[in-house]
Amino acid sequence: MASIQATLAAGRPIYSPSSIADPFYVRILDTTLRDGEQAPGAAMTSDQKLAVARKLLLLGVDVIDAGFPASSPEVFNTAKAIAAEIGNAQGAGGGHVPVISAMGRCARRDIDTAWAAVGGAKRPRICTFIATSEIHMKHKLRKSREEVVAIAGEMVAYARSVGFQDISFGAEDSLRSEKDFLCRVFGEVIKSGATTLIIADTVGCSLPSEIGGLVAYIRAHTPGIENAIVSVHCHNDLGLANANTLAGIEAGAREVEVTINGIGERAGNAALEEVVMAIKCRREVNGGFYTGVNTKYISAASKLVVEYTGLNLQPHKAIVGANAFSHESGIHQDGVLKFRGTYEFISREDIGLDVTSEPGIVLGKLSGRHALKSRLSKLGYDLEGEELDDVFKKFKLLTAKKKHITDDDIEELVPSKYPQSKPIWSLGDFQVIHGTMGFSTAAVKLINSDGKERISCSVGKGPIDAAYKAIDSIVKAPIKLVDYTNSALDGIHAISLTQVVVSEDKSYTPAHFSSVKSNGHTPLEMVNGHSNGHASPEVANGHAVSEKTNVHAMSFSASGEDLDVVVSSVQAYLKAVNRILVKRILLDV
């Protein structure tokens, strides 16, 4: 144990191409920028790829697959930029510099181009490959076994001669290759200088028992295997890429190839977030394996890849899907409201999600009284007994007619003796200018409860961002946008429904609400709270800290509908802003 600890750097064994000091450490190779981008419609620009690579640096992956430089000048230039910046930078782990890998066929031109692209990295690697299955050798390569063995060994040796000391060799379509022939190829490339051997389930046809068995067989029958690391690359055609990857680890693989969100050819690849979290969360039963990934960046990385590729996640996607931490069943809602661990096995904090005062409660036809009462309380209504029973009956009737229940719908169920809130800020007018000529700009006029107008202009990344920033500059509350969704209602009429979730900035101080309370109205005249979140300049600069700085942040949702998406977005955001302001005033009374 002492010798292992002595070789650790930044929570992981010090990198060596052909060995890992700690037998329980699993290297993570992310191939989002190559195999992931091969998903139809997932192409990214060079700037976007560099931004994703920066996020991978923060994640702390061991190896970044920067692409196939010989495929185009654009890929070459991008890989070179990633090698220069990311391949010589220290990640968030303190001292960790990722390996930058480039893909190339077993061809001199590909290998030369790969070295020119990533040779400037501190730890450059090439992954050179050739097919080893009968179907590929016969119909694609049209080469004999002897020719394939000779080419593989020759090209690995050539890669070493041009400068690569870290050489990964991939046997394409490994799972449909004859085992002993595969061992022969791997033995030959090890003799030529290969440091990592990739067992590739190229068409995603394997079952966990098969890939586990193949990894074990390769480790037992390949000459010189003690001088190389076994890696697995699994595709998801049978929905088993993650399971196959974990089976490979259990059988002795110590490097796995994954992508953010599992994107990739056809049905995709093994998903980084699922494989890493499975290793982390079940370490007590998986033999003690671990990775160097900083999981707190998983959510941010997932969102960035969605934004850049346009490949949206299904809501029930494990770890990073919209429903991954949401609960609609009454029994589940009751449990998580009492203690999150009852129905949340994975901590949302572990993947970098914002933690608010409430779990992800989704009100619907399966929800119970506890969840409804909790939501009503957030809105400023403390109902008990018969009043709560009556509202709950109305709520159940509503869920039979409407699928998506908003906070506005909930407020409509409250007895009339509870006055609806008078908004602190009402929307006067607003105008946005956007297009391809310059920044998007927005001018917004808000009217406070005294009838006084305030006007602000802002620029943003888009018209909605600009409008939200203009509202923030008028309201001056520590508010941040947690979630934003937009969908079309009645497609023919193209009505835009926008729903937002907003939260206080955690550095909240009541000083930010003083201007609201000075408008002559008492808090009880403004019943009904919701919350929103963007940090004000004072908070961002560390000023105006009070004894209430550590008050737990609240979050609220609101919705807006209009033919114009910007109008519906502004409506939803301003409703949420008003609710959080009122709720905070009530708590401060």
Taking the CA atoms of 388, 391, 396 and 402 in sequence, report the sign of the dihedral they define: negative
- Is 270 part of a structural domain of the chain? yes
Who contacts 36 (Cβ-Cβ below 8 Å, separation ≥6)? 42, 259, 260, 261, 263, 264, 269, 305, 309
Strands, E, within 179-330: which ranges?
Answer: 196-201, 229-234, 255-258, 326-327
User: pLDDT for 80-107, tens place per residue?
Assistant: 999 999 999 865 545 789 999 999 999 9
Are residues 27 and 125 part of one domain?
A: yes
Are residues 238 and 105 part of one domain?
A: yes
Comparing C-alpha atoms, which of 528, 537, 533 is closest to residue 553? 533
Distance CA(4)–CA(20), nearest Å, equals 10
Reduced to 3 states (helix: H, G, I; strand: E, B; else coil), residue 351 is helix
**Final residue in a domain of this structure, among 281, 309, 337:** 309
Distance CA(193)–CA(333), nearest Å, equals 57
- Is 181 part of a structural domain of the chain? yes
- Is 13 part of a structural domain of the chain? no
**Final residue in a domain of this structure, among 412, 447, 464:** 412
Are residues 252 and 145 part of one domain?
A: yes
- Is 239 part of a structural domain of the chain? yes
| Region of residue 252 (left: phi > 0; alpha: psi -120 to 50; beta: else) | left
Domain range for 446 is 425-588
Residue 5: the pLDDT is: 42
Top-ranked range on mean pLDDT: pick from 281-285, 396-400, 457-461: 457-461
- Tell me the average pLDDT of the chain: 84
Residue 274 CB burial class (10 angstroms; 0-12, 13-18, ≥19):
buried
- Is 3 part of a structural domain of the chain? no
Residue 374: the pLDDT is: 77
- Is 420 part of a structural domain of the chain? no
The CATH number given to whatever domain includes residue 136 is 3.20.20.70
**Final residue in a domain of this structure, among 386, 412, 438:** 412
Residue 120: the pLDDT is: 97
Are residues 332 and 301 part of one domain?
A: no
What pLDDT band is residue 563 in, cutting at 50, 70 and 90?
A: confident
Residue 589, CA distances (Å) to 102, 487, 522, 524, 585 in order = 62, 38, 9, 9, 6
Are residues 430 and 335 part of one domain?
A: no
Are residues 490 and 391 part of one domain?
A: no
Are residues 279 and 227 part of one domain?
A: yes
- Is 221 part of a structural domain of the chain? yes
User: pLDDT for 220-268, tens place per residue?
Assistant: 999 999 999 999 999 999 999 999 999 999 999 999 999 999 999 999 9
Residue 181, CA distances (Å) to 133, 146, 188, 230 in order = 9, 10, 11, 16
Residue 37: the pLDDT is: 95
- Is 11 part of a structural domain of the chain? no
Q: Which parts of 119-240 fold into alpha helices (H)?
A: 134-136, 145-162, 179-192, 208-221
Q: How many CA atoms lie within 13 A of 568 on its CB side?
A: 20
CB neighbours of residue 95 within 10 Å: 11
Are residues 228 and 138 part of one domain?
A: yes
Are residues 341 and 224 part of one domain?
A: no
Are residues 283 and 200 part of one domain?
A: yes
Q: Which helix (H) or strand (E) holds 581?
A: helix 565-588
DSSP secondary structure code for residue 391 in this structure: H
Name the domain count of the chain: 3
What pLDDT band is residue 517 in, cutting at 50, 70 and 90?
A: very low
Are residues 286 and 383 part of one domain?
A: no
User: pLDDT for 304-319, tens place per residue?
Assistant: 999 999 999 998 899 9
Q: Is the pLDDT of residue 330 over 90?
A: no
In the chain, the largest separation of any two C-alpha atoms, in whole Å, equals 89
Point out the least confidently predicted range of 122-131, 139-148, 286-295: 286-295
Residue 433 CB burial class (10 angstroms; 0-12, 13-18, ≥19):
middle
The CATH number given to whatever domain includes residue 449 is 3.30.160.270
What pLDDT band is residue 527 in, cutting at 50, 70 and 90?
A: very low
Are residues 193 and 55 part of one domain?
A: yes
